[in-house]
Amino acid sequence: MTARLSFILCLLLLYACSPPPQPLRVAAIPWPGYEALFLARAQGHLDPFAVHLVEMESATSVLHELRNGTVDAAALTLDETLSAIAQGVPLAVVLVLDISDGADALLARPGIERLDELRGRKVGVETSALGALMLQSALEAGGLKPSDVVVVPLTVDSHERAFERGEIDAVVTFEPVRSRLLRAGARLLFDSRQIPGRIIDVLAVRTDRVADHATALEHLLRAWFRALAFQRNHPERAARLMQPRLRLEVEAILAAFDGIEQPDAAANRSLLSGSPAPLDERARELARFMAAHGLLPTDFSPPPLAIDRFLPAPP
């Protein structure tokens, strides 16, 4: 009896000394389409012991942390996800966060009214797949080549400052910077409405972390759709909660969402289910476009990305 008791006490001691499981670490930058993550946290829907949101200022930083394994998952554009995979980062997609429909844009200084007037001008852009995709698409629409402009690499947290100081003539940017620069007098020359369905934001998870965080992923997706429902039913209240991160007035936040489509749970099931899943088909189309424009290796073929098993069960 004493030996059995000693054995049980040893097991309890080992359990007590074991480190607690680490939360799922999810990185995201300020962007309206990601804000339901932070809305869920603000409303107490996210268990901090299950999910830890890591706030970052640029996609470049997010991809660096994801590549190093410092974070387990990240809110990324689909093109950024493909670029990361091509660089050896193992990723899967468990949620489609949004589809940009005008919220990504190329803006210019007053006096520049057409895309072809960018010839010889300085254009600020983040050195990310999204930045390259938007710039390439805008230049093509204006009959220009990348060599016709002076590309100035800038992370998104530098866009406003560089624009206001006159260090660049135009910038490829997105919300909330887009709204702040337009309010300051910038001219809209091109936006994602002209390339429909090409800029898709997703929750990408390292495949080597999925099994360890399955429960946390289910919890996160339930919290996401709960926050998204609140945002749709109470847009002004939700916008007020988003103000500290987006640094926009309530009216501007509401307007920013006009340029974003956010699929609900049913739409996500449609996008992530099937063989092949519609998201995987879009990824292949996007990969072909990116390869044709030098944004991916020509021999790159994306693996299946979509995982639907963490989505809430249909009602």
Element (H, E) at 51: strand 51-55
Same domain assignment for residues 210 and 185: no
At 28 the three-state DSSP class reads strand
Q: Does residue 71 lie in a domain region?
A: yes
Q: What is the DSSP letter of 306?
A: B
Element (H, E) at 106: strand 104-108
Domain encompassing residue 157 = 104-194
C-alpha span between 86 and 88 (Å, rounded) = 5
Q: Does residue 269 lie in a domain region?
A: yes
Same domain assignment for residues 34 and 169: no
Flag whether pLDDT at 12 surpasses 70.
no
For residue 176, give every residue at least 6 positions away whose Cβ sits within 8 Å of its Cβ, in sequence order, or none.
30, 31, 32, 246, 247, 248, 252, 253, 256
- What are the residues facing 74 on neighbouring strands? 27, 204
C-alpha span between 128 and 78 (Å, rounded) = 12
Q: Does residue 17 lie in a domain region?
A: no
Flag whether pLDDT at 89 surpasses 80.
yes
Copy the structure tokens of residue 149.
């402009």
Domain-terminating residue out of 160, 194, 228: 194
Question: What value does the mean pLDDT take over residues 197-219?
Answer: 96
Same domain assignment for residues 202 and 243: yes
Q: Does residue 176 lie in a domain region?
A: yes
Flag whether pLDDT at 14 surpasses 60.
no
Flag whether pLDDT at 8 surpasses 90.
no
CATH of the domain at 207: 3.40.190.10
Q: Number of structural domains, the chain?
A: 2
Give me the phi and psi of 108, to 5 degrees please. Answer: -130, 165
Same domain assignment for residues 79 and 125: no
- Confidence class of residue 15 from pLDDT cuts 50, 70 and 90? very low
Q: Does residue 10 lie in a domain region?
A: no
Flag whether pLDDT at 79 surpasses 80.
yes
Same domain assignment for residues 209 and 285: yes
C-alpha span between 275 and 183 (Å, rounded) = 45
Q: Does residue 240 lie in a domain region?
A: yes
Same domain assignment for residues 124 and 209: no
Q: Does residue 228 lie in a domain region?
A: yes
Pair 150, 51: CB distance under 8 Å: no
Q: In what order do the strands lie in the sheet with 260-261?
A: 51-55, 24-28, 73-77, 200-206, 91-100, 260-261
Least confident of 96-100, 124-128, 165-169: 124-128
Same domain assignment for residues 97 and 204: yes
